[in-house]
Chain A
Amino acid sequence: MATTAGDSTSERFTTALDELDVGWRTTTAEALSETLTAFPEPIVGAPLPFEGISLPNAITRADDPESVKAAASGVTAGTLGIADYGSVLIESTPPEAELVSLYADTHVAVVRESDIVDSMTAALESLGPRLREGRGNAIVATGPSATADMGALVEGVHGPGDVHVVIVE
């Protein structure tokens, strides 16, 4: 949350990711394939619902349970980024996105720079009409899964132990 006034929204977003210890890199639609295939294998992915940006052919589509559970990296869209918190939004369409983002060791969220909003207020103002009209589902995910129930903070419990955000300019 410690950001300096005057920073752009995406700079504030990446500052928040740094504080969360979440890795991030920026790329372009053209270079996306190269960026994504560099993550640890095996990689599975859910289709990206973005115009003109698609999942590289080299990445396995999530269509059987074993490959999703065994994935080292799971690529899904992050349909919003929230600068104040370093959160990404995982939606339930395409339907396999939730499983991919939850079962892989590392979740790789692809966020378009234009989808980064400033605040939780802005995020919910954008989500409100969509949930009312489309009755959809979204997870506001911030950093890796974690628990302190075993005596100290441990990352990677039922969900991913690592999160990376790929920002598409």
Chain B
Amino acid sequence: MSKQSKRAKAAQIRETMAAEGEAVQENTKGFNQGRYDSVADLEDYQGLKDEARQIKEAAIEQLPELIEQLTETVEENGGTVYLAEDEADANEYIQSLVESGETVVKSKSMTSEEIEVNEHLESAGAEVVETDLGEWVLQLAEEEPSHIVAPAIHKSRASIAELFRERFDPDRPLETPEDLTAFASEQLASKFDDADVGMTGANFLTADSGTMMLVTSEGNARKTVAATDTHVAVAGVEKIVPSVEDLQPFVELIGRSGTGQDITSYISLLTPPVDTATFGDETIEGAEDREFHLVLIDNGRMEMREDEQLRETLYCIRCSACANTCANFQQVGGHEFGGETYTGGIAGGWETGVHGLDSSEEFVDLCTGCSRCVEACPVGIDIPWINTVVRDRINRGADDHAYDFLVDGLTPDAESGGMSYQKRFFGNFVTVAKLGSLFAPVSNWLADFGPNRWIAEKLLGVDQRRDMPTFQRETLKEWAGDRDGPTDPDREVLMLADTYTNYMHVERGKAAVRTLEALGVSVEVADVTESGRAALSQGMVETATKHGEAVAEELLPHIEAGRDIVMVEPSDLAMLRDDYGQLLDEKTYEQLSENSYEILEYVYGLLENGASADALADGDGEEIAYHGHCQQRTLGLAAHTEAVLEELGYDLITSDVECCGMAGSFGFKQQYYDVSMAVGEDLREQFSTPEAEGRTIVASGTSCHDQLTDLMKQDVPHPIELVAPLERA
């Protein structure tokens, strides 16, 4: 962010959303829904994903051997293999295959975009024609792809019609998608007739037979190969798998995960040089002299393989699921949420690996770590973690700032100097909360005092349009310390009250304690509050690790004494269940992960195991609307909340969005306020339908609560507040 002011960044995002947001939103949401529908048809979706993951893990593990084997096989088949170290190396080789004045037809290939081969060939006097309709439109418009599967996803039908009118002045009006498609096909048909060289990518390469798999729907990749007598395939080295049979899970997953098609129209399994005939002038000719060149691109990939944190990126099969399921991507598209070539969540890994941190820095903060993409990814890549690591590396590489001592005094963290104040402020929010609670209510008056809001925006980039959370004078820990629990408890719980629950949203913590006590459980509130989520979301890995170690130190003796850990905030629970696997030693992580529960998951378990719901509140048919938290859904825990509320007699409807848009501190940041509100708009609409209107709205996450109170102008309690019995006299 040092390169561009927060205000300028906010303006740029607004502009992109105005120009492209509508088309991006419609298409990505369609793809995402298609994915849900299509994978639901599979008998064993999870089994296929596991199989796909294992194949990629093993293939990347033995990559050097596979490169060698594939090279031998392709050469045996009569082709040539060139292993290109970087972009320049690849371009120089490809240029040597194309003569000035020749026509190169291309089918869609992101790897060819990565090396910018078109520009190189054109500067050497060749004509390069993209034949995928989306890519061709972008070539005419001189724009960059904004999506790895549907490159022109940001272009509306009207803007394409306008482009064709300007460029070709066609003799018939082009209005409908059918008109535009037919016109484009005609224009490109003659290009195929003139073509000398055909260039494709490759979705997969099999080392045992030298077969390449291409996943397409238009038929242009087939024509690119059949219509030319020189075939150049450009592929990253990570595309190799051991055998033809290994392709099976990918064939079944790639279309479903990306655009929601069960399978694309054409899966080409080519073992080049292919023996398909080609058109001569007068006759159909055999292809005995067809040349084939496989250009394998390293360009940083072998280093990624050695980099423990980036390595998983190489498992990516470029399906686009992570982009389509991402609430922020749905609003801004790949021109904002993307680097030099790659777009969407996984772009953080790709861009860092192939182009460097500078390319990632432009967009990686648009990943809020909500984790919805992990479930969507057909090979289960931990995309949020990769983006956290990328943020951490950017933080560490930042220049020194002259005023660090001011913020350092406030924020005792483990990070090196030079990080933005905004990241420090949000990453160390627990310090702010402790002080805020200590000096409440004065601190609240100060926080809301006009000039201070202005300073907070100037210095920290906290958007003035957001309501600040209110600090409570009495913390949950203090309140709980004065209580007598049940006399003969069935179980004992240590409650890890997160920073918000302890210092600000104390009422949800109190409701949790009362609920547990009513079900015969004694509750102690832990001293430690901060799981490290806030720091991790800013990429402050070291600080987050220190928080994790402090949590482990306090919690492990309780766990060993047979107590269960219960938490109210899903994003903090996700630290224990998931992120600590990256931060702490394995044994510690397992203990914390296996013994921690979300509050309503725990209540559900107690009720299932014989506790009586009579002791809890009576829903009595009250109409409520529930919004689950994104990380809670990824952990598979939203159902427990819904079950408990229904059991108590509430009349429940639920939201159906990937994320509320607030995502921790994201929506408070000046540069992302508009994206956050645009994401929230979906939720506002869902909760404003005739069916939903007037219902009590409940939400599990703190940031969802903040977002929904801003959007709906009503109080938004935590579900536990509807479950808890009234306070005992």
Contact = CB atoms under 8 A, between A and B. Distances in A.
B is a partner of A = yes
Interface of A: 1-2, 62-65, 68, 85, 87, 92-93, 95-99, 102, 120-121, 124-125, 127-128, 131-132, 135-154, 156-160
A99 B226 contact: yes
A130 to B, nearest CB: 9
A145 B282 CA distance: 27
Nearest to A136: B271
Contacts of B270: 137
A139 B264 CA distance: 11
Interface residues of B, number: 66
A159 B277 contact: no
Given A131-B211, A147-B133, A124 B247 contact: yes
Contact of B210 (A2, A135, A145, A147): A135
B275 A93 contact: yes
19 contacts: A2-B41, A63-B284, A64-B282, A68-B279, A92-B275, A99-B226, A128-B243, A132-B208, A141-B265, A144-B265, A145-B266, A148-B27, A149-B150, A149-B152, A150-B160, A150-B177, A156-B181, A158-B218, A158-B223
B374 to A, nearest CB: 25
A157 B185 contact: yes
Interface string B108-139: 00000000000000000000000111100100
Contacts, number: 176
Contacts of A139: 222, 266-269
Contacts of B262: 1, 85
Nearest to B78: A135
B89 interface: no
Contact of A95 (B251, B268, B277): B277
Given A64-B282, A139-B222, A152 B252 contact: no
A62 B284 CA distance: 8
A157 to B, nearest CB: 4
A124 B249 CA distance: 10
Contact of B226 (A98, A132, A143): A98
Interface string B171-191: 000000110110011001100
Contacts of A63: 283-284
Nearest to B255: A142
A145 B226 contact: no
B286 interface: yes
A36 B313 CA distance: 50
A124 B266 contact: no
Contact of B209 (A2, A131, A156, A158): A131
A148 B150 contact: yes
A99 B181 contact: no
Contact of B269 (A65, A138, A145): A138
Contacts of B275: 92-93, 95, 136-137
A85 B251 CA distance: 11
B265 A152 contact: no
Given A140-B251, A149-B137, A158 B188 contact: yes
A159 B218 contact: yes
Contacts of B287: 95
A96 B275 CA distance: 9
B133 A137 contact: no
Contacts of A125: 245
Contact of B276 (A2, A95, A152, A156): A95
Interface string B205-244: 0101111000001111011001000000000000000011
**10 nearest CB pairs, A to B:** A159-B219, A151-B157, A158-B219, A95-B277, A145-B219, A149-B134, A149-B133, A140-B267, A128-B244, A1-B41
Given A135-B210, A138-B269, A146-B217, A124 B244 contact: yes
Contacts of A147: 133-134, 181, 217-218
A62 B286 CA distance: 13
Given A128-B244, A144-B265, A151-B177, A96 B218 contact: no
Given A148-B150, A158-B223, A159-B265, 6 more contacts: A2-B41, A98-B222, A143-B265, A146-B265, A150-B157, A151-B180
A39 B292 CA distance: 37
Given A124-B247, A151-B156, A95 B286 contact: yes
Given A144-B265, A151-B160, A159-B266, A137 B276 contact: yes
A159 B131 CA distance: 12
A146 B558 CA distance: 60
A102 B160 contact: no
A154 B184 CA distance: 12
Contacts of B178: 154
Nearest to A134: B271
B686 interface: no
Contact of A159 (B156, B222, B252, B276): B222
Contacts of A98: 222, 226, 276-277
A132 B209 contact: yes
A32 B217 CA distance: 30
B184 A150 contact: yes
A159 B188 CA distance: 12
B274 A137 contact: yes
B277 to A, nearest CB: 4
B585 to A, nearest CB: 40
A1 B244 CA distance: 24
A67 B222 CA distance: 19
